[in-house]
Structure 1
């Protein structure tokens, strides 16, 4: 489990094809690798990866074809900067929100507006994720725990302070950038809970407008 508070920036130094998978090498002098062990997890732009080799200044992880398909790894190359966070320890401060490192989809940066004290970043999420994104709710973007400041359909807006721009890859975003999105896990559990006994039925049944109206969540 992670918190979405980025601990260091890293640079992808190599991507080695291994059949349908990729062996990824990430270099970082800012990440504290002192207590890292083989098999530990490191969130890499919000993707939970398992360490298969490491030293004081780098680690390697195998990225499956499934992960590549559903994340921004399809566009990564040697030299790409990534946000890094070690898995949370029980005694750590919980500064962000619950982050699993399981990316739900890839969004696109649609607009960036610079203001005096912050940047306004708009991101278009996949349509199927729009229902999980709420005003003042939490969302993870490339592993960063952020608060949603405005929602317009499947697009949402974030206020990014200068410190976050400096310490994460968000400072490199431009219109068209692809970003890894993980919605708040509480929203997913709530969706499942609302199904009630229908949760045991085949996956073809789910929550739709008729279901919400029947259970009093929509008013005429």
Structure 2
């Protein structure tokens, strides 16, 4: 079978929702070559090579099995003449290039998924009761992005370099944190610090004790300003006058 080349340009909600890992794993599964790349207009470009019938299946699966947060506004397929062959399939470095094929927009913040929620009660120290736990399917998106394309250096997470274990998770294509830009843990990510109304720091032996203290303050009628990596929320009891 003769290899052919196809360029696929997609727009919509396609950055920050695990789209590149999805494309990467699908291409690997079908033994295709090429790359996937975030663009500067929040779209994604895919260049892929392989037998025509396998590429047709690849395109079909891109549409049918897309990540749950993905919304296509446009899906453009351009068949091209194969001038050179790729040796593997990779996630290419993001580009400032714009294709203007359709409207793309940033994904919203997503509430914690079941798997990340379960980790909060796990015995894995790095993520037990860790308030910023997230993966490719959940966590902050819109409120942490400073510019596009969506990559960690273009978010507020740029101030929190990966520890060795998070870096391993990020690079492992079988891990649900593969290329998840908000990946972090207690060893390398942000943590909560409590300050009183007089701006004095209050110390705790663990994050769990800190959360219990905040819950008690709210229960007692206090108003708490909670500053996260995506903004500040005012928390109070709706049952207190």
TM interval, shorter chain, is under 0.3
Normalising by structure 1, report the TM-score: 0.26
Higher-RCO chain (CA-CA 8 Å, sequence separation at least 6): 1
**Which of 1 and 2 has greater Rg?**
2
Larger proportion of strand: 1
